[in-house]
Amino acid sequence: MDRINILPHPSEGCQDPVLLNDWHVVGFSDEVTPGRLVPVTLLERDLVAWRETDGALHVWEDLCVHRGARLSKGSICNDRVICPYHGWNYDGSSQCVLMPAAPNDVPLKRARAIAHQVKERYGFIWVCLGTPDADLPVFPEWDDASYSKVLCGPYPFRSGYRAVENFIDPTHFPFVHAGVNGILDAPDAIAPYEVQQTATGLASSEIRVTQPYGDPRNVPVIAYYAYQCLRPLVAYFKKRVVISDPARAAEGSPNDRFCTFLTAQQVDSTHSIVRICCAMNFSPAPTTEDVRRRQDLVYAQDSAIVDTQRPERIPLELRHELHHRSDLMGLKYRAWLRSLGVSYGSI
């Protein structure tokens, strides 16, 4: 297809094929409703999301190819996006179908908005700026009816990579989340664990920690975390929970699990937006409000510390920071990013 050259200049912004050809979350599905233009930014690319009346979703460059105005400043009428500058009409195929200054002229085929591939899954909107190398990462519990699911966020972070690394690091729990995910005066000694590289990324063996407020039931538990890195900016854990208070043990089950699927939208090299979906099979299930209240607390505590880390771009050369064997999952994550060719947002 003959395409118009667009901003940013090809030498600017993200150049990493592994990121450009990957799927990235840019919002929750329910944020984009018919008749509304929603601007988003991904890897320094300004985009606009919109939905037709039949529910079809589109994500385009936020750019009218006529004179470069932002389409997000325009409007939608009869399932057409109308540029705010000269009123050019673009239909759901991204083709310009009307130029008001020349209503009888047929627009050139090149007169079309620049559309990107988009999917909806797990309550998220996913976009690929290039050519996808793979399908979306798998969230195992999403289609399991025994699990209730709650979407939480968005949570602003600086580095999406540091947000992911924080997510897969249980050693910060007693200090960043004292009284919630850990005990300040009695931090857990982390036993050695294993990390394997799999066909889909990285996976750890279970890591045991003590949590006084270990899940939305507000009950103390012994938690066993098994982490996965599914994409450079997508991670997941499955937490096996055992109620540690004998007086409340009957409230739990050996099959109790709390899972979290985390996505990070890298807006630019030092700003990101984290969104998560929690899945749990407790009975009775916590309310949506209880789940979100706890996640809002935890991620606010996380970002307050993670955003102080320097440098803001994550160092991928291990010699740039000190490490310990208890940091194994983070060490493997950095090495994995480096092996994939990630350079954007890193040093």
How distant is the alpha carbon of residue 183 from its chain centre?
A: 29
Please report where in the chains the tokens 């009695």 appear, as a residue: 186
The phi, psi pair for 331, rounded to 5°, reads -60, -45
pLDDT in tens, the chain (347 residues): 344 555 555 557 899 999 999 999 999 999 999 999 999 999 999 999 999 999 999 999 999 999 999 999 999 999 999 999 999 999 999 999 999 999 999 999 999 999 999 999 999 999 999 999 999 999 999 999 999 999 999 999 999 999 999 999 999 999 999 999 999 999 999 999 999 999 999 999 999 999 998 888 888 999 999 999 999 999 999 999 999 988 888 888 999 999 999 999 999 999 999 999 999 999 888 999 999 999 999 999 999 999 999 999 999 998 889 999 999 999 999 999 999 999 999 99
Please report where in the chains the tokens 């991204």 appear, as a residue: 94
pLDDT value at position 11?
57
Domains recognised in the chain with CATH numbers: 17-128 (2.102.10.10), 148-340 (3.90.380.10)
pLDDT value at position 1?
38
**CB burial readout 209-238, b (16+ within 10 A) else e:** bbbbbbbbbebbbebbbbbbbbbbbbbbbb
CA distance 276 to 42: 17
User: How open is the CA angle 231-234-236, to the nearest 5 degrees?
Assistant: 110
**CB burial readout 97-117, b (16+ within 10 A) else e:** ebbeeeeeeebeeebbbbebe
Q: CB–CB of 72/48 below 8 Å?
A: yes
pLDDT value at position 187?
96
